[in-house]
Chains A and B, each alone.
Chain A
Amino acid sequence: MLPGFKLTLGFTVFYLGLIVLIPLAAVFLKTSSLTWNEFWQTVTMPTAIASYRITFGASLLAALVNAVFGLIVAWVLVRYEFFGKKIVDALVDLPFALPTAVAGITLASLYSSKGWLGQWLEPLGIKVANTQIGIFIALTFIGLPFIVRTVQPILEDLDPELEEAASSLGANRWQVFWRVIFPMLTPALLTGFALAFARALGEYGSVIFIAGGIPMKTQITPVVIMQELDMFEYGKATAIAVVMLVASFVLLLTINVLQWWTNRYNTNNLA
């Protein structure tokens, strides 16, 4: 029997409690100091409702776009050879490594009306800075690695014999992809989608610079919480935070189930 069980588990639980669980419990305790009416009025005030819609919509759209392009990027990285492939592979993780404030001011400047990209989009009638399109672009940037990095390993482990079997039975390339490969990638794709979506819901730094924070129009939920905190309205801030936390926990649960599904699929393939 190996030593150190009590010590390591004890420290793990102690540190987890001290840093994560007790402070998080503070949110729920603080909210319980509000009456149900106060709570309900805060979480359903017009700026909050608008922010849920904006945050949820932009996150969903960004995760969808990432699912499509992330799948293409993963496919190209696994299946094809091309110049600069290793650099592209390393660069995919940039949104993980680049601080959100840097991403935020960079995207805001690139898409401003005088920026490298904004100056071409403005004449076409597309305004990105200080609009919901800006939020969508920032969230797309943030979410890209999640899809690529969950799909890539599954695609690498795919058994080529399955594709050969399908094509020798008369399926054309599109049918092989759609009927054989795609169903095997689905759990990973959904997991990546959920991870990107969850990250986008809580994102703050990369969004605020490009979004501008106009109430009812470009205010994401974390910005509404921040505003209440700045006015020392801690009760209101925690009430909205509770809504966000509950949404995140539901997503976390979904992701766990999806990951279990992905792994099961994987071991089935190996067997």
Chain B
Amino acid sequence: MTPAATTFHLPHPAVRRHTTSEPPWVRRLLIGLALGFISLFLFLPLIFVFTQALAKGIGFYFHTITDPMAWSAIKLTLLAAAISVPLNCVFGVCAAWAIAKFDFPGKNILLTLIDLPFSVSPVIAGMIYVLVFGAQGWMGLWLNADNPSFPWLANWLNEHNFKIIFAVPGIVLATIFVTFPFVARELIPLMQAQGRSEEEAARVLGASGWQTFWRVTVPNIKWGLLYGVILCNARAMGEFGAVSVVSGKIRGETNTLPLHIEALYDEYNYAGAFAVASLLALLALVTLGLKTWIEHKNAALNETEKSA
């Protein structure tokens, strides 16, 4: 028998620390591996975008991003985000209200269905709208055939040259689809955790439904809502695959920023492509910054609640 097994005494503090943490060389190795991996896969690409963007000088950079084609792409990207983010926001709040504040059968199925767009490939997300609204799709069959089902609607659409696929409405629809779950999946667990007692108290004290929502619910969910909106917006402005299927890629008309980057890159205008890409990389950095800020804010909030 070893002496350690026969004599009982508390181990020295240094020994105890040794047994619940790793030896210094293991720590250093793991930190080195983690930093190496992060530098290679995340940090280096980020630096690369900005150096390549400025490879032909600051003059070329500003020339590229103020080019009319770039401007039209910026405007279309902002438009798509300006429509899809508020719509998905309203949806997210409604879905979270219904799911968190009430009990009804089929709730789990609804939750799964809301997450569905995340597991659909962007290319398929674009394709489904081509199938519904494209010239060979359902809408095309109803409206553009020799004998349309709704002649007045077909005439009106033709007169106003209204198109969905290979036009702006299709881009907006595809953007809504790929950003669909962001706000909802942020708010649902948050509102479920908060329960319904505060709202019920407000109602008992005589507040109307809207007053309860604006004065009680909104202040409680505002950080979660902002968090969801930021992520939703980043995806809306950066979506490539889905938009690329429905856009038709007409320069100056249906090219969003990511599609404009692809066009410049395919023309071997690498400095130009990276100049435009740097705008989206900046957006990504702002998104990460805001996200981290909200997380800190939330952590601080939880601390004060715990100590109170």
Contact = CB atoms under 8 A, between A and B. Distances in A.
A141 B38 CA distance: 10
A232 B209 CA distance: 51
Interface stretch (A36-44, A98-106, A126-134, A184-192): A98-106
Contact of A102 (B11, B203, B238): B238
B245 A226 contact: yes
Contacts, number: 277
B157 interface: no
A118 B76 CA distance: 35
B292 to A, nearest CB: 5
A87 to B, nearest CB: 9
Interface string B117-157: 10111111001111110101110000000000000000000
A251 B112 CA distance: 12
Given A80-B30, A222-B121, A99 B130 contact: no
Contact of B31 (A15, A76, A99, A117): A76
Interface string B169-196: 0000100110010000000000000001
B220 interface: no
B91 interface: yes
Given A98-B280, A106-B277, A202 B95 contact: no
Q: How large is the interface on B (under 10, 10 to 19, 20 to 34, 35 or more residues)?
A: 35 or more
A139 to B, nearest CB: 11
A91 B42 contact: yes
A101 B122 contact: no
A106 B45 contact: yes
A116 B47 CA distance: 11
A261 interface: no
Interface string A103-118: 1111101100000110
Nearest to A69: B37
B20 A202 contact: no
B288 A101 contact: no
B136 A97 contact: no
B13 to A, nearest CB: 12
Given A2-B199, A110-B45, A204 B238 contact: no
B110 interface: yes
Contacts of B273: 105
A6 B97 CA distance: 11
B25 interface: no
Nearest to B260: A101
18 contacts: A2-B196, A11-B91, A20-B113, A72-B30, A73-B38, A76-B31, A80-B27, A80-B30, A90-B289, A95-B42, A98-B284, A99-B234, A101-B238, A173-B21, A205-B258, A209-B265, A238-B131, A244-B124
Q: Which 4 A-B pairs have the closest CB atoms?
A: A99-B238, A202-B121, A167-B19, A204-B241
Interface of B: 11, 16, 18-23, 27, 30-31, 33-35, 37-38, 41-46, 48-49, 52, 87, 90-91, 93-95, 97-99, 101-102, 104, 110, 112-117, 119-124, 127-132, 134, 136-138, 173, 176-177, 180, 196, 199-200, 203, 209, 212-213, 231, 234, 237-241, 244-245, 257-259, 261-262, 265, 270, 273-274, 277, 280-281, 283-285, 287-289, 291-292
